[in-house]
């Protein structure tokens, strides 16, 4: 099957054991990656350096560690990492999640059958303590037409599940900085380039969440980021003014006006299964 790269970004606040689990899940794919590009986004803790060094020593041909002297944030870290990926197909993965063992094989087979496809994601199951204790499942649409419609209201991909063609992402401007929405911003630019989208119906990644994760989806900075995305889609004529207003009002209520506990309930009730 076609060779592929894995792109991951790591910063100092992450958990060494979670990182180990994430790396193991990608190394042990039924179709192993050709390389894992791990971006060190600024200085790390000794514990994280130890884990990275351990895997570099065990798999010297597999790991490509890119060191950024200062923390750049996810968008710019991924921008730098993607540039050094040596393969056309690139799988994104977070450093605290666990991929299912045949995730990449399923995605590679789908790309084989659709040479026009740019990006392919899938579903996620969320957990707090153990992957077999699911607390939520984020379900996204599957076909290109459905996803282009879905993205007018919500982010169309689970970022940690996607595999994409590097050349198309570079052509669209690569990852850029946009607080909490680096991925959504990229998907919008890919859509404007006419790129083809798809999601698998399968769960591809078990996603680790904190007990207060849903509650933290709020605050002024988060709200401004979300409204900025809506303004961008309005300016690019992806949505009309009525949709812009409706999306903005919903975000104002949920992200700024709701107490944290109520916001957590709303996310669990309406944004997750």
Split the chain (273 residues) into runs of 10 and give each run's mean pLDDT: 96 96 98 98 97 96 96 96 98 97 98 97 93 90 97 95 98 93 97 98 93 62 89 96 92 72 62 62
Q: Report the pLDDT value the prediction gives residue 88, as an integer from 0 to 100.
A: 98
Give how far the C-alpha of residue 57 lies from the chain's centroid of Cα atoms, to the nearest Å. Answer: 27
HSE toward the beta carbon, residue 223, CA cutoff 13 A: 14
Residue where the block lists tokens 């099957």: 1
**What's this model's pTM, rounded to 2 decimal places?**
0.91
Q: Report the pLDDT value the prediction gives residue 203, as an integer from 0 to 100.
A: 97
Is CATH 1.20.59.10 the classification given to domain 4-208?
no
Q: Report the pLDDT value the prediction gives residue 265, as an integer from 0 to 100.
A: 61
Spatial neighbors of 249 by CB under 8 A, at least 6 apart, are: none
Contact by Cβ (8 Å): 214, 264? yes
Q: Report the pLDDT value the prediction gives residue 270, as an integer from 0 to 100.
A: 59
**Integer Cα distance of 3 and 165 in angstroms:** 12
CA–CA distance from 168 to each of 11, 20, 102, 175 (Å)? 27, 30, 25, 12
Domain residue spans in the chain? 4-208, 220-270
């Amino acid at each position: 099957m076609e060779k592929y790269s894995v792109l991951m970004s790591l910063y100092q606040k992450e958990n060494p054991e979670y990182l180990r689990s994430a790396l193991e899940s990608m190394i042990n794919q039924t179709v192993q990656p050709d390389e894992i590009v791990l971006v060190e986004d600024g200085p790390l803790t000794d514990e994280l350096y130890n884990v990275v060094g351990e895997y570099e020593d065990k798999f010297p041909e597999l790991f490509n560690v890119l060191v950024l002297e200062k923390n750049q944030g996810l968008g710019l870290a991924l921008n730098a990492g993607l540039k050094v990926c040596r393969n056309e197909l690139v799988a994104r993965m977070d450093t605290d999640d666990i991929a299912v063992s045949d995730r990449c094989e399923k995605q590679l087979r789908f790309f084989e059958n659709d040479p026009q496809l740019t990006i392919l994601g899938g579903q996620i199951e969320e957990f707090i303590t153990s992957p077999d204790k699911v607390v939520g499942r984020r379900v996204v649409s599957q076909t290109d037409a459905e996803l282009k419609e879905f993205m007018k209201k919500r982010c169309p991909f689970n970022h940690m599940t996607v595999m994409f063609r590097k050349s198309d992402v570079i052509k669209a401007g690569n990852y850029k900085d946009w607080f909490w929405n680096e991925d959504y911003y990229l998907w919008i630019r890919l859509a404007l380039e006419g790129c083809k989208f798809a999601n698998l119906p399968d769960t591809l990644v078990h996603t680790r969440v904190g007990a207060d994760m849903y509650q933290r989806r709020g605050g002024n900075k988060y709200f401004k980021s979300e409204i900025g995305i809506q303004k961008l889609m309005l300016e690019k004529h992806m949505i009309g003014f009525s949709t812009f207003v409706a999306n903005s009002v919903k975000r104002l209520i949920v992200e700024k006006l709701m107490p944290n506990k109520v916001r957590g309930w709303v996310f669990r009730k309406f944004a997750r299964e």
